[in-house]
Structure 1
Amino acid sequence: MKKLTHDQAAETFLLSAVLALGGGFLDAYTYLTRGGVFANAETGNMVLLGIQLLRGNWGRALTYLVPILAFALGVWVAEAVCARFSKHPGVHWRQLTLGGEVLVVAAVAFLPETLNMLANVLVAFVCAVQVESFRRVRGNAFASTMCTGNLRSGTEQLFYYRRTGDQAVRNNALCYYGIIAVFIAGAALGAITCDALGRKAALVCAAILLAGCFILSLRGERKLEEET
């Protein structure tokens, strides 16, 4: 049995799809149960921050600034873990970051509505850690917590496939659109679960991410096969 390297295991479509499922779930979760915000990407928060600063609403501006800073901190932490453990013989640094995500998301489930801002900050932090730790699927750049870039890349690959007929390019396009479909499915699952469990729905997302930890570990013991 040929063992996958850590990087190869981290870039499989299966793991990437599980992470996208969790990313879509978290977006639905924060929107439906934590005050109608999207905590996975910070572009919207930056726009709203600028608007509130222009209007002189300093307190309101702070509510958008804090998640932005939390996202930046998440990127920093992911890189720090990578720098510390990437050469460690017994620990995969991505397993550490993903395991940390599981714990933080599970903790969010127990925060009351009065701490919605903290919940959104923690989700923003988790999403930053995830998007920085897992940046490629089958060798191609992708994001598991937001899909604008995936849509651009998938459409670009589809255009080049129409021009060249290259099957590898077609597979890249299908991969990107597959990730987008899973992200949407995650949002739908999140909506259903939030309706049933409310804030505790975050525990379901924690379970999804925990499954990703197991996949990351088990893929390293399976025979390396070309994925189509």
Structure 2
Amino acid sequence: MVCAGGMMDGYAFTAHDQVFATGQTGNVVRLALATSLLDPCSFLRYFIPIVSFIMGIILSRLVSSRCFHGRQDQMQSWVIDFEAITFAVIGVFADYIPDVLSDCLIASCAAMSFENFRELGQGSRYSSTYCTGNLRSFSEALYEGTFGHEPSELRRALHYLALIGSFFIGVVICSYFVERIGGSAALLISVTFLLARLFVDGWLSGGLASE
């Protein structure tokens, strides 16, 4: 999921005029700059993905409470299916979907991933769509493992480092293919979500979802 998060951001930034679709901090900064410059076009370009991210969170909560009654495993599977279908549509119709609509869809998908994939192993929190929180958790675990002499924290630090690396690789892969095949690279994100579904459903490694 973290690799897919990197791919989403790499795709939106590379294929759609340098808009951030996952971590919204960059869009908020650019929105503030557009406001200070009295640039209404730039304002809308960054405001719309922010609103779409908010709507993605709201939609996720509605579906979770109304359709799955809080069952996190079912909700996670639904989110992955929804995102796989969404990116397949974006990839197939990349030449016909306006940038603003693609940014809205990607931001909404990023919000759903962020809302529904939050825990790594035994209650450790993580982010599947940006790196700031993961960098903080990595630094904390590294400190506790190094100066607190706790081997378990060093292992936890390695887990967070792997997450950051996965996000990095996702950005690299998607940006590479956007430069070569254009908007159709969204199909790679769809495939990545389908592969993630195997892990969420516990079809690999003897049941990862239950760990």
TM-score scaled by length of structure 1: 0.83
Seen in structure 2, the aligned counterparts of structure 1 residues 35 and 113 have a Cα distance that, compared at 3 Å, is: farther
Q: Distance in 2 between matches of 1:80 and 1:65?
A: 23
Which residue number corresponds to residue 95 of structure 1?
77
The match for 1:52 is: 34
Q: For 2:209 and 2:192, locate their aligned partners in 1 and report how far apart those are by CA, in whole Å.
A: 24
**CA contact 2:200–2:209 (8 Å) conserved in 1:** no
Task: Please report how far the alpha carbon of residue 114 of structure 1 lies from its aligned counterpart in structure 2 after TM superposition.
Answer: 6.6
Identity %: 26
Structure 1: which 5+ runs fail to align?
1-18
Q: Which amino acid aligns with 1:98?
A: I
Confirm whether residue 30 of structure 1 aligns to residue 12 of structure 2. yes
Which structure has the higher relative contact order (CA within 8 Å, separation 6+)?
A: 1
**Cα distance change of structure 1 residues 26 and 166 upon mapping to structure 2, 3 Å threshold:** same
SS state at 2:17 partner: coil
Change (3 A) 1:106 1:225: closer
Deviations 1:25-64 (A, max 9, x none): 1221112211122211111111121222233222321221
Pairs aligned (count): 208
CA distance in 1, matches of 2:117, 2:160: 15
Give the Cα–Cα distance (whole angstroms) in 1 for the partners of residues 42 and 208 of structure 2. Answer: 51
Q: TM-score, normalised by structure 2?
A: 0.89
**Which residue pairs with 1:168 in the alignment?**
152
Structure 1 pair 104–37 and aligned structure 2 pair: CA distance change class (3 A): same
Q: Give the structure 2 partner of residue 125 of structure 1.
A: 108
1:9 corresponds in structure 2 to none
Note closer, same or farther for the CA distance 1:85–1:148 as it changes in structure 2 (3 Å cut). Answer: same
CA distance in 2: counterparts of 1:224 and 1:66, whole angstroms: 36
Q: Does 1:40 align with 2:14?
A: no
What displacement does 1:223 show? 5.7
Query: In 1, Cα distance between the equivalents of 2:182 and 2:44?
Result: 26
Does residue 67 of structure 1 match 2:49? yes
Q: 1:126 to 1:53 in 2, by over 3 A?
A: same
Q: Is the 8 A contact 1:49 1:61 kept in 2?
A: yes
Of residues 165, 180, 184 in structure 2, which corresponds to 1:200? 184
- DSSP 3-state at the match of 2:49: helix
With over 3 angstroms needed to count, the CA separation of the structure-2 counterparts of 1:223 and 1:61, relative to structure 1, is closer
CA contact (8 A) 1:81 1:97 kept: no
